[in-house]
Structure 1
Amino acid sequence: MNHTLTFNWMMGFVIAAMALGAGQAQAAYVIPMIGGAQLGPMDGTPMKHLDISFDGTNLSVHVDDMVPTPLLRPLESPDEFDPAEPWAVLTDKAYNYQYGWNPAGFITLPSNSAIWVQRLSQDSGLESYQRPPASPPYASIFASDGDIWQWSGSMTHNVYAVLNPTQSVYSASYRVYLGDSVTGVALDGYGSDDVTLLFNATVSAVPEPGTAMMLTLAGAAMLRRRRTA
């Protein structure tokens, strides 16, 4: 193998990439959209309700199966999230918030009680952040198995995100139960329900070790040339 020719080819690749980057439009700050990237409900990414009902004794959750499995999508260049905004936690991540906890009609709860969601399991790499009306917005939730989160009783779309997806499907399983409004301790005599959220993802491409090394060497050579010019 002619390493000189290969190195020269990689140098040309780096120069072309740098020239292309220099000509690209300036970054545009955007806000998160429900379908990930910059896709809204009118772009084929509607809400996917997790309808919660309570009959006085048992809680149940119905997942809207009319809406396809949500796809985690990253922003596309030149779009960026403003690092000063709370949603900057989604920077460089594929994300989506189509799933929405939603009351399936009127819900009347016993005094001093609330509906809680407990994480049972969640695939490695899948992150969860709460969104308004939950506060503070974009605070991390469900970081570990057993973590609980109090549902406000109104429609709430938490956001899910993955940095550099390594699998095509991610899942998160939860238990919805009635608990003390302050401590979250489950109340005796009431039934709970379990639900699993699924997300599709596009696996991030990772360059082969040899290619990555050549790109690194070529980039370093370019920097040396600039410094000595």
Structure 2
Amino acid sequence: MSDEFQNRDLPGIDQSLASDGSIVKTHARIRREPSTAFPVLFFTCSAVIAVIIFSWFYARRYLGEENSYLHERADIALHNDWQERPRGPIVYDYFAIGESLYTKMACVGCHQADGNGLPGQFPPLAGSEYVITEDQAVPTKILLAGLVGPITVKGNEYNGNMPAYGLGLKDHEIAGLVTYIRNNWGNEAGEVNTDRVAAIRAEIGVRSPYTAEEL
């Protein structure tokens, strides 16, 4: 090493104080101090590995054509087949639908669980000429549009207000209620179906409540 290099002063270092012992201590301290290069390298490598693994799974799941997630493809195929299956007409249990609605709605509170109504307030449905009539349209119209004013049922007069349910219930639900009251408590008047209700609804449209004379 040239004398010129050996004698050159280093900025910030007092060469007169340098000794073999101090140099050894300085090197030891440098070795003990943590390096910032290792954490940066570690996290960078970890991020790269994570991206590679995610990319592999993504490509396998969504981009593969032959061998990726065959069970999911099979489930999708089964679902598509189910959606494209031949569909027959919907079969309703009208009596069961009507029974459920009757007990959950205001019907049971007015006409009672036994269908006998409340004397002087609400007319009976059991044996009512407006229920068991051969003309299915009569009870259907009452449920769709409501009934107001005086009415005579089984020889007794009533004067109340039957609310309309045409806007709140669907055709099969109206059919269920009519079928239920026409075939319960000893009534035997036959079933009313969705098509019949739909035809009556289209015929009367949205209108004011019926009176007994109109029916």
TM range (shorter): under 0.3
Higher strand share: 1
Query: TM (normalized to structure 2)?
Result: 0.26
Higher helix share: 2
Higher RCO structure (Cα 8 Å, ≥6 apart): 1
Query: TM (normalized to structure 1)?
Result: 0.24
